[in-house]
């Protein structure tokens, strides 16, 4: 009977980025590592993890992800694949998190109108308050604190 502690552990994990043939990392499990996305260009990518068990049975896991290290770019007035004509007003704003020393309020947020559902909710609350006031207000219910 063999001792399980003396068996050579030949398990290995290989980590690939996108369609690369060579893995950028190889580990013996379990492993904890930091993926530095500053060296990866912005856009959609895929992490491919290939693991072999001690019996050399291979398992593959694909994890799609998106890298967004650059500034956030916001465009108001033009949507993807939108059909437009005549003159169209477009607002473009870009902001990132590189400034650690101060927070600049001007230009940090996009100018957007208040959503219509908030206006509708406000009208409903005001109308209910007015209805309640008209239906249930009686002078004899009012008691002064003085």
What pLDDT was estimated at residue 6? 41
What pLDDT was estimated at residue 72? 78
Q: Is the peptide bond before 98 cis (omega within 30 degrees of 0)?
A: no
CB 14 within 8 A of CB 49: yes
User: Strand 72-76 to strand 58-67: parallel, antiparallel, or no bridges (unpaired)?
Assistant: unpaired
29: nearest Cα among 43, 39, 15:
15
Question: Is the overall model pTM greater than 0.85, yes or no?
Answer: no
pLDDT by 10s per residue, the chain, length 146: 444 444 455 678 888 988 888 988 888 888 888 888 888 888 899 999 998 877 888 899 999 999 888 777 888 888 888 888 888 888 877 776 665 555 555 555 656 677 889 999 999 999 999 988 888 777 776 677 76
Counting DSSP H helices and E strands in the chain, the numbers are: 1, 6
């Amino acid at each position: 009977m063999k001792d399980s502690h003396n068996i050579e552990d030949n398990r290995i994990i290989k980590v690939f980025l996108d369609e690369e043939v060579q893995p950028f990392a190889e580990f013996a499990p379990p492993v904890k590592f930091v993926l530095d996305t500053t060296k990866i260009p912005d856009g959609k990518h895929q992490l491919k993890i290939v693991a072999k068990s001690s019996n050399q049975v291979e398992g593959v896991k694909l994890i799609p992800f998106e890298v967004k290290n650059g500034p956030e770019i916001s465009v108001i007035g033009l949507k993807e694949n939108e059909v437009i004509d005549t003159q169209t007003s477009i607002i473009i704003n870009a902001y990132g998190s590189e400034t650690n020393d101060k927070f600049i309020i001007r230009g940090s947020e996009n100018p957007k109108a208040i959503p219509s559902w908030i206006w509708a909710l406000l009208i409903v609350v005001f109308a209910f308050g007015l209805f309640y006031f008209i239906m249930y207000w009686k002078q004899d219910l009012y008691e002064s604190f003085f």
